[in-house]
Amino acid sequence: MNEIRLVCFDLDHTLIYEIHSVMYPCILNGKYNEVLEVEKKEQNGVYDWIEADYHRALLIEGLHIESLEKHFDSIIKPIQNIKQTIDKLHEKGMKCILITAGPNQVAKVAAERWGFDFYYGSLYEVENDQFTGKIIKHTGDKGKLEHLIEHCEKNGYKSEDCFAVGDGGTDIPIFEYCGNSLAINYADSIIGKAKYFIKTDDLKDILEYIV
């Protein structure tokens, strides 16, 4: 294995479960039933996942951005030992980044809470500290890889320096780009797309593959 310098993590269904990063602000805005309807339409194929995100974004209009941090620990359901895992990777000289198609503002709270070095996400519009219900730029299917490549170019990393951790289809391009990859609690559709595969409720279990 090449020396790993950068570990790239997905957020939804990789680090957090049940309530994903786009659903979270909808719940904070009192739109629980409405977001469940959007989720149902996505599951039934009425919307693809990107269209569904735009519909979910409408449900967070008027939400104050400060509420994302205030309620994070009481609503978000994370996998065990995220910060401890990030701290251990830092001890080994590795940088850790978070890349999600969810709101950049939620990614910021998660990254700060768990000690990530940098974060990327879809840019949701905020005016006067409140969400407008619009998405300025959605990460989409290819944006996660674009963010990673941009980060590597800015910071002098090669693809072989990188290790990717994710769970689903939007992580496949990142798995293919990175020198090493691990699918955690993965969807069946990505079996064979990463180098390593594990099912666990404790993020520290990934360390044996990285350090």
pLDDT in tens, 44-101: 999 999 999 999 999 999 999 999 999 999 999 999 999 999 999 999 999 999 999 9
pLDDT at 70: 96
Is 56 within the bounds of a domain?
A: no
Question: Does 10 score more than 90 pLDDT?
Answer: yes
pLDDT in tens, 179-203: 899 999 998 889 999 999 999 999 9
Kindly report the backbone phi and psi dihedral angles of residue 119, in degrees, each rounded to the nearest multiple of 5, phi listed first. -150, 155
Grade residue 112 by pLDDT with cuts at 50, 70 and 90.
very high
pLDDT at 2: 67
Is 41 within the bounds of a domain?
A: no
Tell me, what CATH number does 140's domain have?
3.40.50.1000
Is 32 within the bounds of a domain?
A: no
| Total Cβ atoms within 10 A of residue 201 | 10
Write down the pTM of the prediction: 0.95
Is 163 within the bounds of a domain?
A: yes
Give the chain's domain count: 1
**What letter would DSSP give residue 3?**
P
Residue ranges making up the domain that contains 168? 6-17+78-210
Is 61 within the bounds of a domain?
A: no
Grade residue 22 by pLDDT with cuts at 50, 70 and 90.
very high
Question: Does 142 score more than 90 pLDDT?
Answer: no
- Show Cβ contacts of residue 119 under 8 Å, excluding neighbours closer than 6 positions: 97, 98, 99, 100, 104, 107, 108, 110, 111
Mean pLDDT estimate for the chain: 96
Is 112 within the bounds of a domain?
A: yes
Is 200 within the bounds of a domain?
A: yes
pLDDT at 1: 52
Is 66 within the bounds of a domain?
A: no
